[in-house]
Amino acid sequence: MVVQGGGFDENMTPRETRDPIINEAGNKLRNRRGTVGVARTSKMDSGSSQFYVNLIDNTGFNGDGVKSGYAVFGRVYDGMEIIDAMAIVETSKQGGLRNVPVEPLVILSARRVQ
């Protein structure tokens, strides 16, 4: 289970993205609860602007890092209760996408912690 974001604005208009990045699923960072990863299509190197936050330990997302897996690039340090609340809002199907929040959820800020 994950909460996924990015790629669309609050009106479900696709955002302009940069070129896809190389999948770094082999970076030894694991898909554990609270980690943030690069969402992608079925093609390994297709991640661009979409991301997800793991609600549970998603060991199946780790893959082999070469032909399978989703790259973790961050972690939620504070506010995981907000992510958990995002996971239980009412959703619907919109434009062929499932589990879209009925009321838009917008991340107003995030910061990098080292």
Residue spans of the domains in the chain: they are: 2-101
pLDDT of res. 114: 78
Which whole number is the average pLDDT over 35-47? 97
Over 90: is that where the pLDDT of 65 sits? no
Q: Over the stretch 50-63, which tens digit does the pLDDT of each residue have?
A: 999 999 999 999 99
Do 27 and 65 touch, CB atoms closer than 8 A? yes
Cα–Cα distance for residue pair 11/84, rounded to 1 Å: 22
CA distances from 12 to 84, 92, 109, 112 (A): 22, 13, 19, 26
Phi (first) and psi of residue 81, to 5 degrees: -65, -30
pLDDT of res. 17: 95
pLDDT of res. 99: 94
pLDDT of res. 56: 98
2-101 CATH pick, 3.10.620.30, 2.40.100.10, 1.10.3720.10, 1.10.260.30: 2.40.100.10
Q: Over the stretch 74-112, which tens digit does the pLDDT of each residue have?
A: 999 999 999 999 999 999 999 889 999 999 999 998 888
The token duo for 42 is 């079925």
